[in-house]
Amino acid sequence: MPADTRSPGAAPDHDVIVVGAGFAGLNALHHFRANGLRCVVLEAGSGVGGTWYWNRYPGARVDIESLEYSYAFSDELQQEWTWPERYSEQPDVLRYLEWVADRLDLRRDIEFDTRLISAIFDEQAKRWTVTTADGRRLTARFCVMAVGFLSATHWPDIPGFARFEGELVHTGAWPQAGVDLTGRRVGVIGAGATTVQLVPRIAPQTGHLTVFQRTPNWCFPMNNMPMPAEYESRVKAIYPQIRRHEHEVRGAGVVLVGFEVRLPSDTKVFDVSAEEREREYEARWADCALHVGGSFGDLLTDQDANDTLRDFIERKIRSIVDDPGVAELLIPKNHPPFTRRPCGEAGYYAAFNRENVSLVDVATDPIAEITAHGLRLESGEEHELDVLISATGFDAGTGGLTRIDIRGRAGASLKDAWASGARTHLGMMSSGFPNMFFLNAVQSPSAFFSPPLLGDYQVRYIVRIIDQLDATGSAAIEPTSDAEEAWVGHVNDVVNATLLPQANSWWMGANIPGKPRQVVAYAGGFGEYRRRAEAAFDEGGLREFVLVR
Ligand code: NAP
């Protein structure tokens, strides 16, 4: 890579620098290149995959059907690839992305082991200069941040981690070589989706496994299975229809229910009899229970409606967990189902019936400190551990961006600009940061949709913006502050009309001390998102953006 010895007037090294080689970054590289843009991808890891590269903890698995959680842009790819399971494990998702990278010859434009530390916009030259951790500098007209929605790992503010003499790992940066848990005393801090996947997988291996839980989450059986051949061929035969539906559904990108294409229901909970409701919950529970969220249209807006689902799931938990005291601890008391990210489970609740698994309530007796040989609770109770696993999540949506020193017009830093809350237009651009785009980021449908599909739409949208700039002889683009304000307001209004703000969740930014309380993703559905994004292109022109010639 060349050193930064060019004169300011020289052409930039690249048209586009993409940061991150996960689902979105690979898609971006493919499409930008196909559109004649000179593009390089900078990737911190030694391979492609993003989330699926870093999250190698045992049990990591996608909880959207693999036939959907995959690229839609090439029928050839989606017909050719064969998923071994209905919900694929991390190694299979990673294998898929490696296969796509090879199939589309993407690796030749990816710089691996290259972590970006800063990106500075030069207002005169209208270009970005980025600096990597090993001191190299590159320039480009556009910078596309595909750094991942859940990539900035969060360590809890508990004193003493450095003191621990056993093995210490974060699930979001699981060692490539793995961790030997055989016969060892293992502690897991956290009770989110990651812990829910990890625990049943490692429990049989460990000597003793202790889960330190502060807040229980609602968990839903996944009913995973080897991919039924007939199902796969049926889906492949109607892929265009499925992909069309995916772009029209309100909520997450789940349309395959009971092996049928089905949109979330609009029927209200109390429009049907109690028996009918129970039948609907049971049917969805037996298929993939996460789909139970789509049973009725008012589960997230009407507390009484939601209470019927709460009652249903509470009964399920009590029927699985043998010890009534443990079952009570596992039942969330302070948030209704689906107001925090639901967890897909495959033996999590049942794992607490094992002799070698225990649950410790650290809401009533918090972790005071990590010690050399384990951890100590505030009551003084000590837990000796050989391995301590922090399954404590991420600084979602913004963390991947604000941990990089990004400076836009007049040297303004993105981190400072977002100190009292993220501000974007469509979750794709931010005023004051010209020619920088975000993929699958804060204030886009991201967490409430299917990331590969959202990235697909956003990449094409950026291509259209760049075409428009070129067609009008413009050098730079950023959203108007009015458009941005309207978008931020809309994102917040939408979530405030739901039950979601009731919960202290990472969805609301509540997991990171000091982070402004603000929903991290757009909850209005991908259909509405797309409608608004299209409206920003008015009769072929870009209405909600400022173009600089
Ligand atoms: P998470 O949901 O943010 O959970 C973090 C956990 O750490 C919470 O239980 C939290 O407790 C706990 N915690 C934090 N600080 C603590 C402290 N000082 N003491 C005790 N507990 C503490 O993180 P995650 O489980 O890694 O999941 C993050 C997201 O990644 C998921 O919601 C999901 O979107 C995604 N994910 C997806 C899949 C999948 O689709 N298959 C799998 C895994 C993860 P509190 O709740 O009390 O704060």
For atom 46 of ligand 1, which residue has the closest CA?
215
Domains identified in the chain and CATH numbers = 14-48+106-152+395-548 (3.50.50.60)
Confirm if 441 and 518 have CB atoms less than 8 A apart: no
**Alpha carbon of 193 to ligand 1 centroid (Å):** 6
For atom 3 of ligand 1, which residue has the closest CA?
393
Pocket of ligand 1 (CB under 6 A): 61-63, 150, 156, 158, 171, 189-195, 197, 212, 214-215, 341, 344, 362, 367, 391-394, 506, 511
pLDDT, position 437: 98
For 176-180, 358-362, 498-502, which range has the lowest pLDDT when averaged over its residues? Answer: 498-502
For atom 38 of ligand 1, which residue has the closest CA?
193
In Å, how far are 171, 192, 266, 519 from 512, measured between CA atoms?
Answer: 17, 14, 34, 13
pLDDT, position 261: 54
pLDDT, position 308: 97
Close Cβ partners of 352 (under 8 Å, ≥ 6 residues apart): 321, 322, 323, 326, 330, 358, 359
For atom 28 of ligand 1, which residue has the closest CA?
393
Long-range contacts at 73-76 (CB < 8 A, ≥ 24 apart) = 73/27, 73/30, 73/31, 73/456, 75/239, 75/240
Q: Return d(Cα 481, Cα 489) in angstroms, integer.
A: 12
**Alpha carbon of 369 to ligand 1 centroid (Å):** 19
**Alpha carbon of 363 to ligand 1 centroid (Å):** 15
Q: Return d(Cα 387, Cα 166) in angstroms, integer.
A: 6
**Is pLDDT at 110 greater than 90 in this prediction?**
yes
pLDDT, position 263: 62
**Is pLDDT at 358 greater than 90 in this prediction?**
yes
pLDDT grade for 253, boundaries at 50, 70 and 90: very low
Task: Give the residue, out of 93, 212, 214, 389, with the most ligand 1 atoms within 8 A of its beta carbon, to mutate for a pocket test.
Answer: 214
Confirm if 545 and 480 have CB atoms less than 8 A apart: yes
**Closest ligand 1 atom to the C-alpha of 196?**
25
Average pLDDT of the residues of the chain: 93
**Alpha carbon of 341 to ligand 1 centroid (Å):** 9
